[in-house]
Structure 1
Amino acid sequence: MTAQHPRFQVDLEADDARRAEHDFDPVRPDETFTSAHEEFAELRSRCPIARSQEYGGFWAALGYDEVLSVITDIEHFTTSKQNAIPKFAFTGVRPPLHLDPPDHMAYRRVINHFFTPPKMRAIEPKVRAASVELLDPLIDQQWVDVCKGYAQKFPAHVFAHFFNLSVETSEEIKQVSGTYVDAIQVLNHEVVIRLSRRLYEIAQSVIDERRANSYDPAEDLTAALLAAEYQGAPLPADMVLGCVRQLIVTGMVAPSVFIGNMFVHLSRDPELQDQLRNQPHLIPAAVEEFLRLYSPYRGMARTAREDVMLSGQLIRKDDPIALVYTSANRDERVFPNGEQFVLDRPNISQHISFGRGTHSCPGAPLARMMMTITLEEALARSSSFTMAGSPEMAIWAEWGTRSVPLDFVRA
């Protein structure tokens, strides 16, 4: 006799068989600029909830509705247990990502204050200056890797201004965090633990400097966390440390791979390149469509709090499920011609490249500024740029480029 789930109309033997299937390999050594999207499009058509046996086995939400359901259903899915695929050992809790409501708001409330329109307007000249400083010398080079020469350096310079750090400290964070992410994907626990420890040391040094030099909490995010209170008491020291550790790393990797994606697309579409060069007011709209089309996140995850049905698939208690934004943002059910670039797409505001709801990315305004300024300055300084070789791709959990060789022609 076939066993049935006590709450759902599910044949448990059939479900066990489904859990043993292997729909896709998250880490393909031969990934190209188009291969992952081709695979995700095929998978979405038959299983918007896919299954992989890698990393101990996990589900992957590939469809837009499925991803949106998971990230907005805080009753059935938690971020506090496993929030990334693969799962890896870390020391301590890193708010706000590792906390569920309402506790995460004690930290999120402080962070949000530093991404307001006035704060963004204040930092914009420094972001633009950093972009020009790094980008301008590249335009005159006959051959340049725009990832290694610009995209992998720009976030560190921006973060140095945003967090009131030295460029040297920010560059070390960028270098360590990049190697740390790579080690996670190949499950090199020794390197992960060693580099995680170094990132905590850097975070503690930032905190120590704030305590010693009385930084203004209105102007410095770390100082604001040290001054904040929750339920009538200061935020716990270990939680502030975890939060600073999270903040100095988050956003370092994704912009690096995403910037290269924009350059690959534009190098292959000279008409769009010229249109944006001649009509720079269209660049913010183009950035939004690039965010949808080339979303870099595919390994962020949630964990089921209890057995739950998602688009007809039983997700069992404690099952991890990856949120494949890279796939969801091309779902034809929501974005017609989802594999194509459409400037001024009518429903572009529906893309979920920065998540949605409780744990949506607070740094989205700064990320948008970085991408817009990058295109503005690159297009203004060049009359054209073309591919000078094949792009090299990042590995799971990000999707995007690590190397993009270009030939620039200065305007």
Structure 2
Amino acid sequence: MAAAQVDIPADWDVNNSAIVHSNDPDKIYREYDHLRRQCPVAHVDAHDGYWILTKYDDVKEVASNNEKFISYLCAVVPADPRGIRRPLKFDGENHKPYRLAVDRTLKPARLRRLEPIIRGHCERELQALIDVGGGDIYEDFAAKWTSWVEKEWLNLDEEDSALLVESFSPFVYAWRTGDWATVKKWSEAWYGIANRVVAARKEKPLDPEIDPASSLLLERDSDGNPLDEEHIIGCIRQIVIIAMVAPTIVITAITKHLSEDKELQNKLRNDRSLLPAAIEEFIRLHVPSPEEPITVVYSAANRDPDQFPDPHKFILGRDNISTHLGFGKGIHRCAGASLARMMIRVYLETILDKCSDWDQEGEIVYAKLPEVGPTSCPFKLYKA
């Protein structure tokens, strides 16, 4: 799908641009195109000032050079106003034990065991929408389903699982509207979950291959010492958000995309062998994280025509699709990439099996910074 044509006036100023002030992805992508041609390294005054990189090669270089560019001081724009720094954003040697502990719990064997459980949650939550003829894919399906995925990854008990499902949507809405009192309320609730999980695993550890908290408690820093418990709790709190915020947006964007491209929808329904290639192209097009350390704009890099010809089009089977930066690059690449790919595949298989078609039915609401993409998108769903 091509981005809508948006005229760029002669007096255009990035400080007054859609990039900074709009939630409309088409306008944002068009202005990224303009910057890529005219000023690929641009400065924005908002949010205490930051630079935007929009060319693929520049973004890849900065994201890969983890000795020169760090993420600990500022991981996203706008930065967390509370000044919180969590372990997966640590740099260098301080980062390694946390990343090793998390990666240990997302090996292929673990994902294979998780898949039928995650698929069951997906089928249940999607069927609830199908039974009533449709609903908001983001609010009524994806936000709930991704919370259940987190429950399985972290091995939460039923009470904390229910709290996570209840809190995700209001937390994200509060963050994007600047309601910091509500953000604090739910963030503290998530810290409560993290504290309870870590306390439970200290008392009775689980297999570190299947449990993040147990894995973190087993890990040692570069001096051979156990990781600081405060940082372990912070890492679990960070994991809480990993499998929820970005996947909900991507799933909603994919659903919208397929509602507008019936030919592609039917092609994928009739030939599931095309799904792996389709998933990578969806991730390239709809990565929701525009800015990372030094504001490397992944969503701009993935639409750089020098790297991806016809960058705004969905092209199944791109020769160089493996080079997309949808999951970032370098040591801070997305920790949950393999889980995210599995989630998207399970979702597509489920909705293509259960629905003969779907159509957008209602207003689309788009995310504010730091994400790009739909956060409310009602659909009418047709049973298969």
Asked if the contact 1:178–1:253 (Cα under 8 Å) also holds between the matched residues in 2, the reply is: no
How far does residue 251 in structure 1 lie from its aligned partner after superposition?
2.6
Which of 135, 139, 150 is matched with 2:130 structurally?
A: 139
CA RMSD of aligned residues (A): 2.1
Which of 242, 247, 253 is matched with 1:250 structurally?
A: 242
Paired position in structure 1 for 2:188: 197
How far does residue 223 in structure 1 lie from its aligned partner after superposition?
1.1
Question: Structure 1 residue 114 and structure 2 residue 87: aligned?
Answer: no
Task: Report the AA paired with residue 166 of structure 1.
Answer: D
How far does residue 222 in structure 1 lie from its aligned partner after superposition?
0.5
Residues 141 and 185 (structure 1 numbering): CA distance in 2 closer, same or farther, change over 3 Å? closer
Paired position in structure 1 for 2:48: 56
Q: Aligned partners of 1:264, 1:258: CA distance in 2, in Å?
A: 10
Unaligned runs of 5+ in 2: 1-12
How far does residue 57 in structure 1 lie from its aligned partner after superposition?
1.5
Residues 380 and 189 (structure 1 numbering): CA distance in 2 closer, same or farther, change over 3 Å? closer
Deviation string, structure 1 residues 163-205 (Cα, Å, up to 9, x no partner):
1013552353355455445544555554444443333222111
How far does residue 80 in structure 1 lie from its aligned partner after superposition?
1.4
How far does residue 238 in structure 1 lie from its aligned partner after superposition?
1.6
How far does residue 348 in structure 1 lie from its aligned partner after superposition?
0.3
Paired position in structure 2 for 1:22: 15
Paired position in structure 2 for 1:226: 217
Structure 1 residues 9-408: aligned runs within 5 Å: 22=15, 24-28=17-21, 31-90=23-82, 93-97=85-89, 99-166=90-157, 168-173=159-164, 176=167, 178-230=169-221, 231-300=223-292, 302=293, 321-408=294-381
Asked if the contact 2:72–2:91 (Cα under 8 Å) also holds between the matched residues in 1, the reply is: yes
Residues 170 and 397 (structure 1 numbering): CA distance in 2 closer, same or farther, change over 3 Å? farther
Q: Aligned partners of 1:354, 1:55: CA distance in 2, in Å?
A: 24
Larger Rg belongs to: 1
Alignment length (residue pairs): 371
Q: Aligned partners of 1:181, 1:54: CA distance in 2, in Å?
A: 21
Q: Aligned partners of 2:25, 2:224: CA distance in 1, in Å?
A: 51
Q: Aligned partners of 2:264, 2:319: CA distance in 1, in Å?
A: 18
Query: What SS does structure 1 have at the residue aligned with 2:309?
Result: coil
> Which piece of structure 1 moves more, 360-369 or 31-40?
31-40
Query: What SS does structure 1 have at the residue aligned with 2:357?
Result: strand
Q: Aligned partners of 1:175, 1:285: CA distance in 2, in Å?
A: 34
Asked if the contact 2:78–2:369 (Cα under 8 Å) also holds between the matched residues in 1, the reply is: no
Residues 347 and 115 (structure 1 numbering): CA distance in 2 closer, same or farther, change over 3 Å? same
User: 1 or 2, which has the higher strand percentage?
Assistant: 1
TM-score (normalizing by structure 2): 0.90
Asked if the contact 2:73–2:85 (Cα under 8 Å) also holds between the matched residues in 1, the reply is: no
How far does residue 402 in structure 1 lie from its aligned partner after superposition?
1.3
> Which piece of structure 1 moves more, 162-171 or 248-257?
162-171
Asked if the contact 2:284–2:324 (Cα under 8 Å) also holds between the matched residues in 1, the reply is: yes
Task: Report the AA paired with residue 405 of structure 1.
Answer: P
Query: What SS does structure 2 have at the residue aligned with 1:249?
Result: helix
Deviation string, structure 1 residues 350-395 (Cα, Å, up to 9, x no partner):
0011111111112101000000110111011111112223322111
Q: Aligned partners of 1:140, 1:34: CA distance in 2, in Å?
A: 33
Asked if the contact 1:144–1:407 (Cα under 8 Å) also holds between the matched residues in 2, the reply is: yes
Unaligned runs of 5+ in 1: 1-19, 303-320
Paired position in structure 2 for 1:4: none
Query: What SS does structure 1 have at the residue aligned with 2:305?
Result: coil
Q: Aligned partners of 1:113, 1:332: CA distance in 2, in Å?
A: 36
> Which piece of structure 1 moves more, 172-181 or 341-350?
172-181
How far does residue 291 in structure 1 lie from its aligned partner after superposition?
0.2
User: 1 or 2, which has the higher helix percentage?
Assistant: 2
Q: Aligned partners of 1:187, 1:56: CA distance in 2, in Å?
A: 16
Task: Report the AA paired with residue 106 of structure 1.
Answer: P
Q: Aligned partners of 1:85, 1:218: CA distance in 2, in Å?
A: 33
* Identity value in percent: 33
Asked if the contact 2:104–2:215 (Cα under 8 Å) also holds between the matched residues in 1, the reply is: no
